[in-house]
Copies of this chain bind each other. A is one copy, B any other.
Amino acid sequence: MTSSNRLYLFDTTLRDGAQTQGVDFTVADKVAIARELDRLGIDYIEGGWPGANPTDDRFFADPPEFQNAKFVAFGMTRRAGRSAANDPGLNAILQTKARNVCMVGKTWDFHVDVALELDRTEYLEMIADSIAHAKGRMDEVMFDAEHFFDGYKANPDYALACLHAAEKAGARWLVLCDTNGGTMPHEIERIVGEVCARIPGEKIGIHTHNDTENAVANTLAAVRAGARQVQGTINGLGERCGNANMISLIANLVIKMGYETGLKDGALQRLTHLSRLLDDRLNVPTNRSAAYVGTRAFAHKGGLHVSAVEKDPKTYEHVDPEMVGNQRIIVVSDQAGRSNIMARFRQIGLEVDPKDPAVARLLEIVKEREAEGYAYDGADASFELLARHELHTVPDYFALQSFRVLVERRVNARGQLIAMSEATVKLDVAGHRAMEVGEGNGPVNALDAALRKALVPVYPELADMRLVDFKVRILDSAGGTAATTRVMIESGDAKGRRWSTIGVSPNIVDASYNALYDAITYKLFRDGATPATERAASA
């Protein structure tokens, strides 16, 4: 029996991934991630569990317009003792802007007996009427068969009966979930094969977890055995050991195994970007060893390999890194460092003669700075300023003499505990010394306010500049509060431009100042502002 080659990709980063310890998506985070998934051509985006938490309520009340994906609400089959129509949890997931739901239910008799304490036959009816009730109101209804593999091993007839109940009631997909994550790939392959033989029509989906480090392999095995919907999360985000990594799944299923999907042209090349997007949103370090998209995934270390790689990359690379938006890195090699830097120059539109001594100097400076904690990957504007500074093509717009920032917590006159910040800056601009004070919620906020007071009158271009994002990372944190701090700032302006800058120092306020300085300088440079020092001279 042949089956079609078309797989349906179902992303649950915003639902199952969101359950991870320490993960708190804001509505803005969910919108950004969902938009990118839709843009790539993912078939289903499970946005969360409306009714279970306020963030999901807001997200589902006003989701983005999707061009490609079906937007899915997750929920549970109805509780005992209520009809489907009167189950508030079920109603909550049927009354949002989503037109598709994925409902989880038990398929392991042990769970029905012990965890739910219900009659098994009654439970089959609960599955059936929940699905039927939803089917009357949604475009598509799916059934997440929880603990399916444990359930099938214990009592295959009951597990299949649960699937049949959902199928007959109108479920489009029956998703077999390895909820505890303990099933081995060969077992998955056997069981999925048996289920597909009993339930034809390409309705079987697969949802695995990484508790034995086999989530991806389990999914591949299920697909080979007939599953056609594939669930996963970006970067394998998920509780305990994570979910199946959607990025590895896509690369493996499409590039290695030749399956078709709904992915748009260019989607594969955006996989690296997708991975970094989630890291940025969660403010977590990138997993450098991630398959396909890790920064080290195509890093060749000196010695045996390097000359072979350069003769023919196929000798040491299993795929072309650019297929997934990644790049080859050759480490411990001046020659390769040089080609990396030249490529960066081209990327930012800098015409540089490779023989210009500034190139070698810049390479040295970047290496030193990166050893101190700078990371120019995510701070394009700081890198460009560094390069232009070495090439003498960016002027100094002002010169900081000093700043002083005060943070205070005390009880005010009304007996309330307050925390406030005040900053004073002294800088030279337009031929005079400016001294201004500003206040704010916190030290960096106050410093920014003081700087603007001093600079906007001289550089009106700065008036529409605003801080969009602010990230702090402590490096060498094993040193406690005496560690190095890296601050990255993203700025924006009324022209819709965005640029990222970086500052590093053991002192977080100092690091923030460095990032702010670059942000301001970059804005003035891009706007072609005349340095006030020149104005003073010609006045």
> What residues of chain A have their CB less than 8 Å away from a CB belonging to chain B?
19-22, 24, 26, 28, 52-54, 110-111, 114-115, 179-186, 210-214, 216-218, 220-221, 224, 239-242, 245, 248, 251-252, 256-257, 283, 289-292, 294, 296-299, 301-302, 307-308, 311-312, 314-319, 331, 333-335, 370-371, 375, 377-378, 400-411, 419-421, 440-445, 448, 466-478, 480-483, 485, 505-510, 512-513
With a cutoff of 8 Å between Cβ atoms, the chain B residues found around residue A183 in the complex are: 318
Question: Given A19-B335, A480-B469, does the pair A180, B316 have CB atoms closer than 8 Å?
Answer: yes
Q: Which of B28, B111, B216, B401 contacts A214 (CB 8 A)?
A: B216
With a cutoff of 8 Å between Cβ atoms, the chain B residues found around residue A53 in the complex are: 334-335
Q: Are B210 and A289 in contact (CB under 8 A)?
A: yes
With a cutoff of 8 Å between Cβ atoms, the chain B residues found around residue A409 in the complex are: 400, 402-404, 510, 513
Question: Given A252-B212, A315-B111, does the pair A474, B482 have CB atoms closer than 8 Å?
Answer: no
Question: Given A256-B184, A476-B26, does the pair A213, B405 have CB atoms closer than 8 Å?
Answer: no
Can you list 29 A-B contacts with CB-CB less than 8 angstroms, sorted by A residue number? A21-B378, A52-B335, A53-B334, A54-B371, A182-B256, A183-B318, A184-B256, A185-B220, A212-B248, A212-B292, A212-B318, A213-B245, A239-B296, A241-B289, A402-B409, A402-B410, A403-B410, A404-B410, A406-B406, A419-B505, A421-B507, A440-B482, A441-B482, A441-B506, A445-B482, A468-B478, A470-B477, A472-B473, A472-B474
Task: Tell me, rounded to whole Å, the shortest Cβ–Cβ distance linking A518 to chain B.
Answer: 15
Q: Are A317 and B443 in contact (CB under 8 A)?
A: no
Other than the known A19-B335, A21-B301, A115-B308, what 12 A-B pairs have Cβ atoms closer than 8 Å?
Answer: A54-B371, A180-B316, A211-B297, A240-B297, A241-B290, A402-B409, A405-B408, A444-B481, A467-B481, A468-B478, A468-B480, A481-B512
| Closest B residue, CB atoms, query A108 | B315
* Integer count of this chain's copies in the complex: 2
Main secondary structure of the interface of A (DSSP, over half): mixed
Question: Given A298-B240, A406-B406, does the pair A283, B474 have CB atoms closer than 8 Å?
Answer: yes
Q: Are A252 and B184 in contact (CB under 8 A)?
A: yes
With a cutoff of 8 Å between Cβ atoms, the chain B residues found around residue A420 in the complex are: 507
With a cutoff of 8 Å between Cβ atoms, the chain B residues found around residue A406 in the complex are: 404-407
With a cutoff of 8 Å between Cβ atoms, the chain B residues found around residue A333 in the complex are: 21
Q: Are B508 and A443 in contact (CB under 8 A)?
A: yes
With a cutoff of 8 Å between Cβ atoms, the chain B residues found around residue A289 in the complex are: 210, 240-242
Q: Are B470 and A471 in contact (CB under 8 A)?
A: no
Q: Which of B241, B299, B505 contacts A294 (CB 8 A)?
A: B241
Bound together, the chains give a CA A21 to CA B336 distance in angstroms of 12
Q: Are B241 and A296 in contact (CB under 8 A)?
A: yes
Task: Tell me, rounded to whole Å, the shortest Cβ–Cβ distance linking A513 to chain B.
Answer: 7
Q: Which of B28, B181, B294 contacts A318 (CB 8 A)?
A: B181
Q: Which of B115, B211, B245, B469 contacts A311 (CB 8 A)?
A: B115
Task: Tell me, rounded to whole Å, the shortest Cβ–Cβ distance linking A338 to chain B.
Answer: 15
Q: Which of B252, B378, B440, B475 contacts A481 (CB 8 A)?
A: B440
